[in-house]
Amino acid sequence: MTKAAQVHLYDTTLRDGAQQGGISFSVEDKLKIARKLDELGIHYIEGGWPGSNPKDAEFFRKGRELQLSRAALVAFGSTRRPNIKPGQDANLNALIAAGTRAVCLVGKSWDRQVTLVLETTLEENLAMIAESTEFLKSKGLEVFFDAEHFFDGCKSNPDYAMETLKAADYAGASCIILCDTNGGTLPEEVASMVAAAQKELTASLGIHAHDDGELAVANSLMAVAAGAVQVQGTINGYGERCGNANLCSIIPALELKMGIPCVGAERLKKLAEVSRFVSELANVRPFPRQPYVGTRAFAHKAGLHVSGLNKWEESYQHIDPDAVGNRSGVLVSELSGVSNIIYKARERGLPVPHGDEARRILEQVKLLESRGFQYEEAEASFELLVRRAQPDHRSPFELVDFMVVIEGRRRPAAGGGEMLAEAMVKVKVGDQVIHTASEGDGPVNALDMALRKALTWFYPQVAKVQLVDYKVRILEESAGTESQVRVLIESTDGEHQWRTVGPVY
Ligand SMILES: [Zn+2]
C-alpha cells in the first residue's frame, strides 16, 4: 500500500448533502457555503446537477463571479442515456453549459444495476462511460468519473466492475472515484479493492463513501491509506439516508493523525466555524457530540478527568481542540469534583473559589442535583451559586411572598375558553418592601409582569430581559400530575443569552 503524499478534498455538501431530508439550500445559501468552503481550503466544490434542475444551473451561472481563491467549482451529471450520441444528451450539454473547469460524471459499475435499473446491456454501459468521458474531454474539461456502486459491483462481478473503470481511464478521466453508494462496505474490503483497482489504472483514485454502516470516515481513510488521492464528502456528514462521509472528521484525521497535508494547519482552525456555519444555513441543529467540532467534543464531566486536565491539558483529549478551532470545556454536575468547580469558575471569569469554599459549592451542586436541578445545561445557575458563596455577597432582592389567582372560563360558542390570571408579588430590596400586582393571560405571564413592576424600579435593565425558550422535564414519571418537574429557562437581554434551572413542586 502506498499512502498518498497529498490529498485533494472534494466537497459535495451542495449536491449529495442537499439530498438529506429536510435540507434545502437556496442559490444564495449555496454561494455563501461555497465561499466558506474555499476559505477552509477545500479543493473542489461540487455545486449541483445542472441537468436535473434550474436552481443548480443558476448556481453555476452566479458561481462564475465568486472569485474563489483556491477551490474549483465542479458540475455533476450522469453518463449519456443508452443508444444516443453524447452530443444529443441534454444532461451532458448542461454539464458543459455550467462553465466549470472540471466535471464529475457518474456511471454504473455494478452489473445488476446496469441490467435491472438502467435496463441496458453491459456493453452499452461501457460505451456510455467511454463516449461521455471522451465527449467532455473533447470540450476541454477535466473529467472525474464517479464509479457508482463500485464496491458492491466488485463483489458481484469483479471483472465487469474493473472494465467500467478502465473504460473511463482509457477515455481520459483524470481521477476515478470508487463509490460505496449503499454505504455497506467494510474498511478492510475498501482497502483491498482500492489496491486492486490501482494496479489496473493510470488515472488517480478517489473515494466517495456513504455512512449506512457508520463506516464512511473509516472507509475514506482506509482508501487514502491504500492510495486514493481524492476524498469526497460533506460538511457534518449531511446526505441521504445515514449521510455521506463527514469531511469534518476526515480533514483533521488526515492532517493531524496521518500526516497527509490537505488544508494546512492555519485553515484547519476554521473547521469548527465552517461546521456551524453550514448547519445554520442547512437549518439542522448542530450535533453537540459530533467528533472534533461539536460543542461537547472536548467537554469534561467526570471529576477525575477534570483533575487530570488541570495538570495536563491533553490528559483526556485525543487532540488539542484549538487545532480545529474548538475548545475544551468542563461540565458541572453531581459527578464533578472540586476541580470542575474551579475550572468552570475560571472559564466563566468568576471569582475562583478555593479550598473549603470550593468544596461547599460542590456539596451544594450535589445536593441540589439530587433534588432535581441540573447544572450541566444551566451555567447561569452555577454562576449564581459561585457568587452567593462569596463572603461579601448581598442578594440584589429577596422574594418575600407571592400569590396567583387563576380563573378559567369556558366559552363553548367561541370553541374554547379563556384564562384570566392575577398575581401579587412582595419583594424586598435593601430595607424596602415593594408590593405589586398585575394581570396576565396566564399565571406565568401575570407573575412575570408583577415581578418586573417591582424590580425595574431598582434595576431598569430588567426591562430588557426576555424569555427565549423553556423546557420542562418530569422527574418521577410514575407520579403522574403529582410528579416534580424541572424547568430549564433560557433568557436574553438582547445582547447575551443564558440558561437557569429550577425544580417546580
Ligand atoms: Zn453519494
Instruction: Say if residue 296 is exposed, middle or buried (CB neighbours under 10 Å; 0-12, 13-18, 19+).
Output: middle
Distance (angstroms) between ligand 1 centre and the Cα of 105 equals 12
Distance (angstroms) between ligand 1 centre and the Cα of 5 equals 25
Distance (angstroms) between ligand 1 centre and the Cα of 298 equals 30
Distance (angstroms) between ligand 1 centre and the Cα of 30 equals 18
pLDDT at 470 > cutoff 90: no
Q: Which cell is 373 given? A: 436541578
Q: Identify the helix (H) or strand (E) that includes residue 28.
A: helix 27-40
pLDDT confidence bin for 307, thresholds 50/70/90? confident
User: What is the pTM (predicted TM-score) of this model?
Assistant: 0.81
Distance (angstroms) between ligand 1 centre and the Cα of 209 equals 7
pLDDT confidence bin for 240, thresholds 50/70/90? very high
Distance (angstroms) between ligand 1 centre and the Cα of 382 equals 45
The pLDDT assigned to 368 comes to 86
Distance (angstroms) between ligand 1 centre and the Cα of 202 equals 24
Distance (angstroms) between ligand 1 centre and the Cα of 34 equals 19
Distance (angstroms) between ligand 1 centre and the Cα of 232 equals 9
Distance (angstroms) between ligand 1 centre and the Cα of 46 equals 12
Place of cell 444551566: 378
223 or 420, which is more confident?
A: 223
Cα separation, 364 vs 334, in Å, equals: 9
Mean pLDDT calculated for residue range 133-138: 98
Please report the beta strands in 234-360, taking only residues with DSSP state E, as ranges in sequence order: 299-300, 329-330
Strand pairing partners for 404?
A: 423
Distance (angstroms) between ligand 1 centre and the Cα of 39 equals 24
Distance (angstroms) between ligand 1 centre and the Cα of 243 equals 9
User: Cβ contacts of residue 385 below 8 Å, gap of 6+?
Assistant: 361, 364, 365, 375
Is residue 324 within 8 A of residue 269, CB to CB? The reply is yes
pLDDT confidence bin for 285, thresholds 50/70/90? confident
Distance (angstroms) between ligand 1 centre and the Cα of 239 equals 8
Distance (angstroms) between ligand 1 centre and the Cα of 152 equals 14
Q: What is the mean pLDDT of the chain?
A: 93
Cα separation, 123 vs 163, in Å, equals: 10
Cα separation, 66 vs 59, in Å, equals: 10
Cα separation, 240 vs 179, in Å, equals: 14
Distance (angstroms) between ligand 1 centre and the Cα of 16 equals 6
Distance (angstroms) between ligand 1 centre and the Cα of 147 equals 10
Distance (angstroms) between ligand 1 centre and the Cα of 131 equals 23
pLDDT confidence bin for 461, thresholds 50/70/90? very high
Distance (angstroms) between ligand 1 centre and the Cα of 245 equals 9
Residue 149, phi-psi category: left (phi > 0), alpha (psi -120 to 50), beta (remainder):
left
Name the residue among 227, 240, 376, 236 with its Cα closest to residue 296: 376
Task: Name residue 304's amino acid.
Answer: L
Is residue 169 within 8 A of residue 203, CB to CB? The reply is yes
Which pLDDT tens digit goes with each residue over 80-96? 999 999 999 999 999 99
Name the residue among 470, 421, 467, 417 with its Cα closest to residue 441: 421
Distance (angstroms) between ligand 1 centre and the Cα of 128 equals 20
User: Cβ contacts of residue 500 below 8 Å, gap of 6+?
Assistant: 378, 380, 381, 384, 488, 489, 491
Is residue 300 within 8 A of residue 341, CB to CB? The reply is no
Mean pLDDT calculated for residue range 31-57: 95
Phi and psi at residue 177, to the nearest 5°:
-100, 120
Distance (angstroms) between ligand 1 centre and the Cα of 17 equals 8
Cα–Cα separations (whole angstroms), residue 425 to 58, 125, 396, 457, 461: 60, 79, 16, 14, 19
What is residue 353's DSSP assignment? P
Distance (angstroms) between ligand 1 centre and the Cα of 470 equals 38
Distance (angstroms) between ligand 1 centre and the Cα of 192 equals 21
Distance (angstroms) between ligand 1 centre and the Cα of 149 equals 10
Residues in the chain, total: 505
Which pLDDT tens digit goes with each residue over 440-460? 988 989 999 999 999 998 999
The CA-based angle 476-478-481, given to 5 degrees, is: 80
Distance (angstroms) between ligand 1 centre and the Cα of 193 equals 18
Distance (angstroms) between ligand 1 centre and the Cα of 307 equals 44
pLDDT confidence bin for 362, thresholds 50/70/90? very high
Cα separation, 83 vs 352, in Å, equals: 76
The pLDDT assigned to 204 comes to 97
The pLDDT assigned to 414 comes to 64
Distance (angstroms) between ligand 1 centre and the Cα of 195 equals 21
Distance (angstroms) between ligand 1 centre and the Cα of 210 equals 6
The pLDDT assigned to 347 comes to 86
157 or 309, which is more confident?
A: 157
Distance (angstroms) between ligand 1 centre and the Cα of 74 equals 15
Distance (angstroms) between ligand 1 centre and the Cα of 148 equals 8
Q: What percent of the chain has pLDDT over 70?
A: 98
Most confident of 167-181, 280-294, 367-381: 167-181
Cα separation, 357 vs 377, in Å, equals: 23
The pLDDT assigned to 413 comes to 67
Cα separation, 481 vs 475, in Å, equals: 11
Cα–Cα separations (whole angstroms), residue 414 to 406, 410, 418, 441: 20, 9, 10, 17
Distance (angstroms) between ligand 1 centre and the Cα of 184 equals 13
Which pLDDT tens digit goes with each residue over 310-325? 788 778 899 999 999 9
Q: What share of the chain is helix, strand, coil (3-state, %, to 5)?
A: 45, 25, 35
Distance (angstroms) between ligand 1 centre and the Cα of 15 equals 9
Q: Identify the helix (H) or strand (E) that includes residue 364.
A: helix 355-370
